[in-house]
Structure formats: structure tokens, C-alpha cells
A and B are shown apart, each in its own frame.
Chain A
Amino acid sequence: MEIIQSTFFALIASFAFLIVFEVRGKALLIGSIGGAISQLSLELGQLVEYFNFLVPYFFAALILTLYSEVMARVIKKPATVFLIGALFPLVPGTGIYQSMVYFVEGQQGAFFRELQQTLAITGTLAMGIMIVSVIFRNFRLRSFFKEEEQN
């Protein structure tokens, strides 16, 4: 139930953010669904207890980028339009803010620990996005599959 609830909130939050970035029409709906998918994949990944805390973020980033790149090709719009909506629910906002609070309070140890975790999550998200984007940019999958069919 909690997962369904947070997926719904992610959908609404992504929808609102896409309006802030002036996204319209079909892209607005598809981008919002991307936000829900990324939140859902993060939550499902976090259910697996023996995963390092970064692994669910990595898988969520892979899934959201895959979704965005596929949608960009299906409805012929820039992938960024979908990536941005899908990325927002994964942003470690609490970590960023909490590290700043620790810094202000002079808790150096807690500050560095929180900052380290936040940077690790941000780096993991960037890495996940990068890997899928590189594959889509460098390999023409459609022509690859066509060649396979011809062979």
C-alpha cells in the first residue's frame, strides 16, 4: 500500500515539475509516468535487504533512462523531456539538506558522512543515466536487430 501511495505522489510531483519546465501535451503525461516508474523501481529495489543502499538507485536510474530513451524514439521527442520528470523523485534532497544542517550545527563527522552518502547517490544516478545513454547513442539498436533478422 505504501509503495502504491509513494508511486502516486511521485507521479503528481513529476507532473508538477514538468509544468514548471513548460512541458506540454503527450510528453507531460509520459514524463509523469516516468517519475512514477522510477519511484516504483527504487522502492522495489529497496525491498531487497542484502543490496547495498546504492544498488536500488543504480537500477532505478537504468530503468528511468531506458524508459526515457525508448519513449524519445517512440514519440520523437528529446529524451531530456522524459528524463527530467523521471529523475526528480530519485534526487537525494533530504541528504543535501541534512548535510547542510549538520554543517551549520558544526557537526563535522555527521556532515561528512551525510555528504558522502549524498554524493554517492548522485554519482550512482549519473552513472546509471550515462550507461544507458551511451548504449543508445553508440549502438543503432534498430539497425542491429534488422541486420540480425536478415542474417
Chain B
Amino acid sequence: MLKELETDIGAITDSAYNSVDCLDLGLWLGFGLMANGAETIRVEDSVGRILDAYNLKNAEVFAVSNYIHVSARSRSGKPISFGKRLHGSVSYNLDRVDRLNALARRITSDRPDPVQALEEVKTILDAPGYAFIVHALAVAISGFAFSLLLGSEIVPALWAMTSSFVMINILRPVKKYYSNPILINILGSILITLFAWPIKFTAYSSDHLLMMTASFMYFFPGIALINSTRDLMAGDYSAGLAKLIEVLLLAISVAVGSGATLALLSKIWPIA
């Protein structure tokens, strides 16, 4: 047993860098991936490769959808471990996932100074996204294009575009104070249902279903569904099932918001 430990310690000294710094780098990079919408299996794989690249012995990484834990032995052979919990919900920023993934590849091949690499991780995490107006226009255009894709006329498509644009602008201040995605989905679906209702009284009433569906696509938890599928397929059932539950809850929240509003509207403003 003692001999095994000595062999381990011998191997640890192979790297010139402080093992705490290496572990800290792995923790932050993994946390960044997790917080921006990467699959759990990608988080564990990337961090595991980084810790291996720095020759940390007995390195282990464990991640679930909102927590990451890394551990290894220090140069002196003492066990060290760090954990970081994600408070609030995941913000889906695939550009950050992509850049962190590329950095993880570079760290694995070049083994840079972990302190400098950690600075790069923090720079990526602090990098601003698209301006809000670009985001809002993208939501509006997606509503427009999906309406046309589903087969609606141009006027309902433009209506869906305007509804989506107004909805995202109303949700903006709400998102600042309440980041709960279920609440956001309920509120968003209420707004879309309210904005789309008047079209029922026009010549385009038959396209009501299509423009509503197109506007709701923004709330579809696509990344969570893909991540859930990929985690399940990789054998990580706890992460995969947790994300599948998230998908179901988000879909149900849209149905609840829209269904309740539809029921109420058909009572107070019935179609003649």
C-alpha cells in the first residue's frame, strides 16, 4: 500500500506546475462548460483530460447538471478536492461552450501555465454575448421564418414576428430579477397567447395555430433535449434523466401558460 502511494507521488512530481492551480483550472473550465449548456459527459471528459495532461495522480471528476467536483493528490501525496455548485439556471451560450472546448483541447496538447490558462477561462466566461437588440431581432425573425415554414401567410408571419419581438422586450427586465426558466416560460407563453388572439377575428384566423406554434419555438428546450439524449447515450443516466425532467417541465410550463390564457380569453373575448 505504502509502496503504491510512493509510486503515485513519484509520478505526481512529473509536472512542473502547482497541483492546486491545475485542479483549480479544471474546476473552472468544467464549471464554465456546465453553466453555459454543455453536456455533462463533455464536462467530465474535458476536465478529466486536463487533469491527466498535468499528470495529476488519482485525478477524478464528477459532474451532475448543477455541480462539479474535482479531486487529486497534491505533490506531497495529500488528497485535495474542490467543488463548485451552479446557483440558478444554466444560460445557454454555445459560443462559450465552443471556446472553452477549444481551450481544453489546447491545454491538453500544450500544457500551458495553469494560472495563465485560468485567466483565459475567466476571459471567456466574462466575454459579452450579442447585444440585446440582435438577440431580440433573432427571436423575432425565428418567429417569422417558422410561421412561413409551417405554411402560414405573410401577414400572420409578420404578426408572429412582432409578437415575439414585443414579448422578448417585456421579458427582459423580468429575466433580470427572476431567472427561473419555468416562470419565464409561463409568462412568455401568456404574452404570446394574448398577442396572437386578435388574429382570430381577422381573415387570417386559420393561421392562428401556425403563428402561435412558430412563436412558441423560442421556448422549446432544444439544447436540454439534445444534452439529455447524449448523456443518456453515454451512460450517464443521472444527468440524462435530470435534463429530461427539465425538458418536460419547460414544455409543460408553456402549455400551462398558454392553455390557461386561451381558456380565459375564450370566455371573456369569445369568437363570434
Q: Are the chains A and B members of one assembly?
A: yes
Shortest Cβ gap from A76 to chain B (Å): 7
Partner of A16, one of B92, B139, B227: B139
Which B126-166 residues have a C-beta within 8 angstroms of A?
A: 129-130, 134-135, 138-139, 141-142, 145-146, 148-150
Q: B89-138: which residues lie under 8 A (CB-CB) from chain A?
A: 92-98, 101-102, 105, 129-130, 134-135, 138
- Chain A residues contacting B214 (CB-CB under 8 Å) are 93
Contact sample, A vs B, 23 pairs, CB 8 Å cutoff: A13-B141, A16-B138, A16-B142, A19-B134, A19-B135, A20-B138, A21-B37, A21-B93, A23-B95, A76-B102, A76-B105, A77-B102, A80-B226, A81-B98, A84-B222, A84-B226, A87-B225, A96-B251, A100-B259, A126-B229, A129-B230, A133-B229, A133-B230
Interface size class of A (residues with CB under 8 A): 35 or more
Tell whether, in the assembled complex, residue B255 and residue A96 are in contact, meaning their CB atoms are under 8 Å apart. Answer: yes
A104 within 8 A of partner (CB): yes
Q: Which stretch of B16-24, B55-63, B205-213 is in the interface?
A: B205-213
User: Is B142 within 8 A of A93, CB to CB?
Assistant: no
Residue of A nearest to B247 (CB): A122
User: Interface of B with A (CB < 8 Å)?
Assistant: 37-39, 42, 92-98, 101-102, 105, 129-130, 134-135, 138-139, 141-142, 145-146, 148-150, 209-210, 212-214, 216-218, 220, 222-223, 225-227, 229-230, 232-234, 251, 255, 258-259, 262-263
Give per-residue flags for A87-110: 1 if the beta carbon is below 8 A from chain B beta carbons, else 0: 111010110111011011000000
Is B217's CB under 8 angstroms from A133's CB?
no
With a CB–CB cut-off of 8 A, which chain B residues contact A88?
217, 220, 222
The B contact surface, by secondary structure, is helix
Using CB atoms, name the residue of chain A closest to B127: A22
Contacts of B222 in A (CB 8 A): 17, 84, 87-88, 91
Residue in A9, A83, A93 with the greatest tally of chain B CB atoms within 10 Å: A93
State the CA gap A137–B45 with chains docked (Å).
Answer: 12
A117 adjacent to chain B (CB < 8 Å):
no
- What is the interface of chain A, defined by CB distance below 8 A to chain B? 6, 9-10, 12-13, 15-24, 27, 39, 76-78, 80-81, 83-84, 87-89, 91, 93-94, 96-98, 100-101, 103-104, 122, 126, 129-130, 133-134, 137
Nearest residue (CB) in B for A10 is B149
Nearest B residue to A97 via CB reads: B213
Question: Does the CB pair B263–A21 fall under 8 Å?
Answer: no
Q: How far is the CA of A101 from the CA of B225 in the complex (A)?
A: 23
Q: Which of B138, B213, B216, B234 contacts A17 (CB 8 A)?
A: B138
Known contacts A80-B39, A80-B94, A81-B98; is-contact A87 B209 (Cβ 8 Å): no
Query: Out of B42, B142, B230, B259, which one reaches A13, CB within 8 Å?
Result: B142
Contacts of A100 in B (CB 8 A): 255, 258-259
Instruction: Give the distance in Å from the alpha carbon of A76 to the alpha carbon of B213 in the complex.
Output: 34
| Contact of B42 with A78 in the complex, beta carbons under 8 Å | yes
Q: How many A-B residue pairs have CB under 8 A?
A: 139
CB nearest neighbor in A for B150? A94
What is the CA–CA distance of A134 and B230 in the complex, to the nearest angstrom?
Answer: 9
**Looking at B102, B216, B217, B223, which has the most chain A CB atoms within 10 Å of its CB?**
B217
Q: Give the residue name and chain of the A residue nearest to B134 (CB).
A: A19
Chain A interface SS verdict (over half)? helix
Is the CB–CB distance between A94 and B142 below 8 Å?
no
Cβ-neighbour of A22 out of B95, B149, B232 (below 8 A): B95
Q: Give Cα A16–Cα B164 distance, bound, in whole angstroms.
A: 12
Q: 8 closest pairs, A vs B, by CB?
A: A13-B145, A19-B138, A16-B142, A9-B149, A12-B145, A16-B141, A93-B213, A22-B95
A78 near B98 with CB under 8 A, answer: yes
Report A-chain residues with C-beta under 8 Å of the C-beta of B230: 80, 129, 133
Q: Which residue of B lies closest to A101 (CB)?
A: B262
Contact in complex: B209, A94 (CB < 8 Å): yes
Cα distance A73–B98 in the bound complex, in angstroms: 13
Whether the pair A78, B101 counts as a contact (CB closer than 8 A) is yes
